[in-house]
Amino acid sequence: MAMDLKPYHLENFQNTVDQIQTEVDKLEKQVSEVQQYYGSSGNVQGNNSKGSSVVKEKGRDKLFAGTKTPLQDASASGTENPAAKRMQELMRQFSTILRQITQHKWAWPFLEPVDVKGLGLHDYYEYIDKPMDFSTIKSKMEAKDGTGYKNVREIYADVRLIFKNAMKYNDEKHDVHVMAKTLMEKFEEKWLLMLPKVAEEEKRQTEEESQAQLEIHRAQEMTYAKMTTDLSNELNEVEIRLKQLREMAIKNCRKLSAGEKKSLAADIARLSAENLIRALEIVAETNPNFRHTENEVELDFNAQSDYTLWRLKLFVKRALEDEQKNSGGTFGNQNTDEKRNNSRKRRDFCDDSAKNLSKTRKLSTF
């Protein structure tokens, strides 16, 4: 946005400086986000062995009839993706296997949870860590709150757990142990017929997930590339506005007195080698004809613009304060009369302009 260069009141000038400061703070956060992104992407069912029948036979023919998985519910609402449709079909085929197993004449002991308390199986949990039964599997397959099965392998593992638990708690000659072993063998036969389809779908899903991650990564790269371009343009815009502010600052800042120039020259002589080089660079930025070497520096203060002198004054003051602070001393070379000068606000506005310019240059290097 181009800025009207006619003289500003000091209050308006300060508002403009504050506005630019706010924008610079926002840009700093965005630059940090971009830098962080590119920095990180260089991406046993049981029955007591003393009993022969512990669970009443009930409803086995209807146990898995009409069972719906969360994926099937998604299909009904039309929100599933192709992978979900394929998994839904695998779930349907697996439900068929479960119905066949639960309809077997020996399946009744495993249809419902073991009544541990009612049957007096006081040692059951000493042998069985995770009880399982077909009604629990059915409920989990129908769950809609995110607690259901994610794939058929999880259901397969729980079906095996039903039979494993029963075989673990009951000895080999017990009827329930024999029933569990027989049903598990039949279940494994049916599972092996289905396994190639499961393996193929798992491979396909892995490939699709990898492709999806790649697309996400590409989208992120495009987003941050655009953000980088936009940031560069905004930083250039801030630089232009600061340049315009510099011009206004020059018009509004009073000239340094001869005494202030003399004091500034003395302070520059006290700078460390590193800060002295930076001070000379400030002079060179607005005076291309200025030349200096490490052994000899000739600086004519009367030949420098008012703005250059104010920038030098600000930089030297802060540099000496930092040097004193780092060395444990106190910076006491302050001119009391200067503090009381009525034109202090003007100098502060000039300083703010220089400060914002310096901060923006730092951002521009990202």
> pLDDT tens, 24-40?
888 888 888 888 888 87
Judge whether 355 and 314 are in contact, CB under 8 Å: yes
Please state which CATH number belongs to domain 255-342: 1.20.1270.220
Q: What does the pLDDT read at residue 150?
A: 87
Q: What does the pLDDT read at residue 331?
A: 45
| 302: confidence class by pLDDT, cuts 50, 70, 90 | confident
Residues near 101 by Cβ (< 8 Å), separated by ≥ 6? 107, 159, 183, 186, 187, 190
- Tell me what the mean pLDDT of segment 167-175 comes to: 94
| 219: confidence class by pLDDT, cuts 50, 70, 90 | confident
Between the alpha carbon of residue 187 and those of residues 95, 164, 204, 319, 337, the distances in Å are 12, 13, 25, 81, 97
- Tell me what the mean pLDDT of segment 314-332 comes to: 79
Predicted TM-score (pTM) of the model is 0.48
Segments making up each domain of the chain, as ranges: 60-216, 255-342
* Per-residue pLDDT at 164 exceeds 80: yes
| 6: confidence class by pLDDT, cuts 50, 70, 90 | very low
Please state which CATH number belongs to domain 60-216: 1.20.920.10
